[in-house]
Structure 1
Amino acid sequence: MVYTIRRSSREDWREFRTLRLAALSDPVAPVAFFEPYEEALQLTRVEWERRAAGRGTVVFAGELDGGAWAGMVGVCREERWAQVVGVYLLPEHRGTGLAARLMGAAIDWAGGREVRLRVHEANARAARFYTSLGFRPTGVRDSDPDDLSFGAYEMVLRPGPG
């Protein structure tokens, strides 16, 4: 597969919405996303445009020839660190290297800052992937608001010397 990795814009709202709804309806969604599918369905076009435009969070899309999105990752920068959110690939694009390319774009955009993310403790596949990129657990843990017997933990990628 040939993917184009690029920042999304307001005009990408339809592709963003389609992929986000696919993410929220995926069987792994309960351990990957805290936004319920039913709530996302109620969002207005203006809200989808705002999200696609990256106000607060920049979205990188893995786009196929023809414009359909195969995957995405969001990242927001703070003064000293960046937070990765909303990582998702359609099932048929997993294992193709797209996730690593999207994360690479997010890490590059972080501009040498420490990069943080949270992974649900029941999402072992995601944890292995992030570990393969150099992320390490920080020891910070959050509870899942929908199921207090599960939680998410923070992982960090610290910039190398230089």
Structure 2
Amino acid sequence: MAYTIRRSCREDWREFRQLRLAALRDPVAPVAFFEPYEEALQLTRGEWERRAAGRGTVVFVGEQADGAWAGMVGVYREPRWAQVVGVYLLPEHRGTGLAARLMWAAIEWAGAREVRLRVHESNARAARFYASLGFQPTGTRDTDPDDPSFGAYEMVLRRAPR
């Protein structure tokens, strides 16, 4: 399947909203996202526009030839590293190579910074995928704010200075 990888913009708010809501309804959402579906439904158009525009977090999307979105990855810069967030592909696009292309877009956008992400400890498939890209566990673990019995651990891709 052919995809175009690009940054989302404010005008993409409807597509962004649709894909984010699909992500939050996905059966793996409880172990991948910290935003409840019901709360996301209450967001205003302005908030969706802000998110799609990448203010704070840049969003890379995988777009099909017909313009339909198949997946997305968010990334933002800290002073010394970049943080990947909100990785999601519609189920029918998993295993196509799109996730790696989106991740590499985010990694390249980060420049020479190391790239960090958090993966839920119950999401072994995601952990294997990130490891295949060169991410390694840092040993840092966070607890899910809604359920202390679940945690996420940090992984990092260290970049050589340019």
Q: TM-score, normalised by structure 1?
A: 0.98
TM-score normalised according to structure 2 size: 0.98
Q: Shift in Å at residue 160 of structure 1?
A: 3.0
Q: Say whether the 8 Å CA contact 2:112–2:161 is kept in structure 1.
A: no
State the Cα deviation string for residues 105-144 of structure 1 (Å, max 9, x = none).
0000001100000000000000000000000000110001
Match of 1:124 in 2: 124
Q: How do 1:57-136 and structure 2 match up within 5 A?
A: 57-136=57-136
Secondary structure of 1:159's counterpart equals coil
Runs of 4+ residues over 3 Å off in structure 1: none
May I ask how many residue pairs the two structures share in their alignment?
A: 162
Q: Which runs of 5+ in 2 are unaligned?
A: none
Contact 2:116/2:157, CA 8 A, preserved across alignment: yes
Task: Provide the secondary structure at the position in 1 that maps to 2:30.
Answer: helix
Match of 1:5 in 2: 5
- Out of 143-152 and 96-105, give the one that drifted further: 143-152
Aligned counterparts, 1:25-40, within 5 A: 25-40=25-40
The separation in 2 between residues aligned to 1:83 and 1:145, in whole angstroms, is 19
Identical columns (%): 86
Matched residue type, 2:41: L
RMSD: 0.8
